[in-house]
């Protein structure tokens, strides 16, 4: 694995989200900006996966960091390409949850509007995989106060993986900046680059 990182945002999110912005700023401070990709993903799963596949080819063997629906994408890609993945409040089998949400959607950051269709849900179902066959390649960060997803679904699905379950918090994952050292260690970024940085400054 290289020390590159591919960050995968969630549904109706963007590279402007808080976690993505914090990671981008931190990697720049480490002098590793060129090792990070934070794409603005297409709302349709097939097109989003095509974007991510291209970036994996560009980066080599990146650490996949996936938030919410991005965690679902990251799991599919990690299993396909034998990549490490760090998942933050990941969605589990989202295609089983979206029936009540069909219709107009709006991206929280770009103001783009789009239509969630049965084809989106079918495309999500195509990405469903069995629980990780090599759980040592995964870290799963969960907060019990997640108001969007029940953390226990991910706790059960990723039961063989290293899990960090924190009481409270929310779906956006409170305190992400302070946990960046653990992310960088998992990504094989040399410790001397980040050990003296106060990451609380990125909040």
Domain harbouring 172, CATH code: 3.40.50.1820
Residues in the chain: 203
- pLDDT value, residue 141: 98
Domain count of the fold of the chain: 1
The verdict on pTM exceeding 0.85 is: yes
Mean pLDDT by 10 residues, the chain (203 residues): 88 94 96 96 96 96 97 98 97 88 87 91 96 95 96 96 97 96 95 92 83
- What range defines the domain where residue 51 resides? 5-202
Of 114, 126, 97, which is closest to residue 12 (Cα–Cα)? 114
Distant-in-sequence, close-in-space partners of 132: CB < 8 Å, separation ≥ 6:
75, 78, 79, 138, 158, 160, 161
């Amino acid at each position: 694995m290289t020390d590159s990182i591919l960050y995968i945002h969630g549904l109706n999110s963007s590279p402007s989200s808080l976690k993505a912005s914090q990671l981008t700023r931190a990697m720049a401070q480490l002098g590793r900006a060129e090792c990070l990709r934070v794409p603005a993903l297409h709302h349709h799963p097939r097109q989003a996966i095509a974007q991510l596949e291209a970036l994996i080819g560009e980066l080599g063997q990146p650490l996949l960091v996936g938030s919410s629906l991005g965690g679902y994408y990251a799991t599919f890609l990690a299993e396909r390409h034998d990549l490490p993945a760090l998942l933050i409040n990941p969605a589990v089998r989202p295609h089983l949850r979206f029936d009540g949400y069909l219709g107009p959607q709006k991206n929280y950051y770009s103001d783009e509007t789009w239509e969630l269709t049965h084809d989106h849900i079918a495309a999500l179902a195509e990405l469903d995989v069995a629980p990780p066959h090599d759980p040592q390649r995964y870290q799963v960060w969960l907060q019990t106060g997640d108001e969007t997803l029940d953390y226990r679904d991910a706790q059960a699905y990723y039961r063989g993986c290293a899990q960090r379950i924190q009481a409270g918090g929310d779906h956006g994952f409170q305190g992400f900046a302070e946990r960046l050292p653990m992310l960088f260690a998992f990504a094989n970024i040399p410790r001397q680059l980040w050990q003296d940085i106060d990451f609380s400054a990125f909040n």
